[in-house]
C-alpha cells in the first residue's frame, strides 16, 4: 500500500481515510446462518458417518469432541431466521 501511495503521489492520511470509510460500510461481524444442535456422540468416526448417512435430515455435520478430540458428535443444523426491522 505504501509503494502505491508513493507512486501515485497520494498523501498517506488520504489513503487511511479512504480505507476507514470502506471499512465502515462492511458489517461488524459475520452473522450466524445456522443453529447447530448435538444429535448423538460416538467413539469412532465410522459409527458417526454411518449414523449421518442413515439419517434423513438435510444439514448434518460431524465434529470432533471430547478430550483430545477422541469422540465424534453428529450435529443437526437449522437455518436462522433474520430479524425483521420494525418501521
Same-domain pairing of 55 and 74? yes
For cell 470509510, the residue is 21
* CB 65, CB 71: distance < 8 Å: yes
Distance CA 55, CA 42 (A): 15
pLDDT given at position 32? 83
Same-domain pairing of 21 and 40? no
pLDDT given at position 37? 96
pLDDT given at position 12? 66
Same-domain pairing of 24 and 12? yes
Q: SS3 of 78, please?
A: strand
pTM exceeds 0.75: no
Same-domain pairing of 26 and 44? no
- Residues 10-66 have pLDDT tens digits of 666 666 666 665 556 666 777 788 999 999 999 999 999 999 999 998 999 999 999
Same-domain pairing of 42 and 68? yes
What's 69's DSSP letter?
Answer: G
pLDDT given at position 8? 58
Is 85 a domain residue? no
Range of the domain at 55: 34-79
Our count of domains for the chain comes to 2
pLDDT given at position 83? 73
Amino acid at each position: 500500500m505504501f509503494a502505491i501511495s508513493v507512486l501515485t503521489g497520494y498523501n498517506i492520511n488520504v489513503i487511511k481515510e479512504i480505507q476507514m470509510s470502506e471499512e465502515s460500510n462492511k458489517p461488524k461481524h459475520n452473522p450466524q446462518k445456522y443453529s447447530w444442535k448435538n444429535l448423538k456422540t460416538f467413539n469412532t468416526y465410522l459409527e458417526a458417518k454411518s449414523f449421518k448417512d442413515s439419517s434423513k435430515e438435510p444439514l448434518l455435520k460431524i465434529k470432533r469432541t471430547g478430550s483430545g478430540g477422541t469422540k465424534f458428535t453428529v450435529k443437526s443444523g437449522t437455518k436462522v431466521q433474520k430479524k425483521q426491522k420494525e418501521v
